[in-house]
Amino acid sequence: MSYFNNNTVLFLNGKFVKASDATASLYNQTMHYGNGVFEGIRSYDTEDGTRIFKAKEHFDRLHYSAKMMHINLPYSSAELEAITYELLRRNNLTDAYIRPLVYLGNNMSLSPTDEVHVVIMAWEWANYLGDQLLRVSLSPYQRPNPKACHVEAKVVGHYTNSILATTEAKQRGFDEALLTDMNGNIAEGPGANFFFEKDGKLVTAPLGNILSGITRATVFELAKELEIPVEERFFTADEVKTADAAFFCGTAAEVAGLKSLDDYTFPFNWEDSVSHLIQLRYRMRVSVNEYHQLHV
Ligand code: PMP
């Protein structure tokens, strides 16, 4: 996958620069210790032009993540949104994946640093789990303990856990991993939240051990519109193995249906599940300007 070419422009510390000319110091604290924060955002080609889906929610979460890691982010959410629209315009992008990253300056100590860098990149990226139903495996890895780090912050270093889990599942021939929390309940995927469907209801893990997904919150809104009940509660892999259907959801993954969890195949035809209705509704939602959603 090539993320940029000779014409790609990115935003770096107040300037739009060519991606191929942009550099960062090898002494930066984010590279050595993982202390940096980021976002994953998508824009869509809508009837009213290019729209960043839930931009405010994403940039507000970036602020939250920065605050939890003692990083002073020098742009407001509104400024970051305006910069991102300009970035998309300069790269002629409409349907895009947008990656803001806040990384720190040279600092080999374990204290935060005042030198804060902000980079925003964008590229075209098909939904990252693909369009096929996924064969998922229960991971031997757990999500990070919420008493060890701020799990609701999107911190660079947390993704070593995700990389281990996905790699391990793929090595055993699966498409993706499903991770437990520190108590053995199902938490989420390496880069997406998890829902299962039983008797027309959706169930997902409560906040506390998971990233508070913006897509997860959107699924709650869509389920309300469709009058599908949603329960937030703890559950185990054994209970998932009695479910009718299941899906992952996240900005990059969008709504991705599951075929199986280990040896258990979800019995519903994906097309007959309420999960599928959520997937269709999500596609509609992201491609319609939010103004219309509020006023039509
Ligand atoms: N959980 C994890 C661990 C993630 O990395 C992501 C992707 N940001 C999500 C859930 C889904 O979050 P969102 O819907 O805000 O993209």
Q: Tens digit of pLDDT per residue, the chain (296 long)?
A: 899 999 999 999 999 999 999 999 999 999 999 999 999 999 999 988 999 999 999 999 999 999 999 999 999 999 999 999 999 999 999 999 999 999 999 999 999 899 999 999 999 998 777 789 999 999 999 999 999 999 999 999 999 999 999 999 999 999 999 999 999 999 999 999 999 999 999 999 999 999 999 999 999 999 999 999 999 999 999 999 999 999 999 999 999 999 999 999 999 999 999 999 999 999 999 988 554 555 44
Ligand 1, residues 193, 209, 249: which to mutate, most atoms within 8 A of Cβ?
193
The three-point CA angle 159-29-32 to 5° equals 60
Which of 109, 99, 120 shows the shortest CA–CA distance to 33?
Answer: 109
Q: Please, what sign has the CA dihedral across residues 267, 260, 191, 159?
A: positive
Residues 15 and 52 in one domain: yes
Q: Using a 6 Å cutoff on CB, does residue 144 contact ligand 1?
A: no
Would you say 46 and 287 are in contact if contact means Cβ atoms under 8 Å apart? yes
40 lines ligand 1 (CB under 6 A): yes
The reported pLDDT for the residue numbered 296 is 42
In a domain, 294, yes or no: no
Q: Is 75 in the same domain as 197?
A: no
Statement to judge: residues 105 and 21 lie in one domain? yes
Residue 291 in domain: no
- Residues annotated as catalytic (active site), given as ranges: 154
Q: Which residues contact 241 (CB under 8 A, 6 or more apart)?
A: 261, 262, 264
Do 147 and 16 share a structural domain? Answer: no
Write out the two tokens for 294: 């509020």
Looking at residue 294, its pLDDT comes to 53
Residues 116 and 202 in one domain: no
- Regarding whether 277 and 152 lie in a shared domain, the answer is yes
Give me the pLDDT at residue 131, please. Answer: 82
- Return the pLDDT at 188: 98
State whether 108 and 169 are in the same domain: no
**Could you tell me the distance, in angstroms and rounded to a whole number, from the CA of residue 21 to the centre of ligand 1?**
30
**pLDDT score, position 291:** 47
- Which residues form the domain of 187? 134-286
Strand-strand pairing, 116-123 and 134-142 = unpaired
Cα 250 to middle of ligand 1, angstroms: 5
CA of 41 to the centre of ligand 1 (A): 10
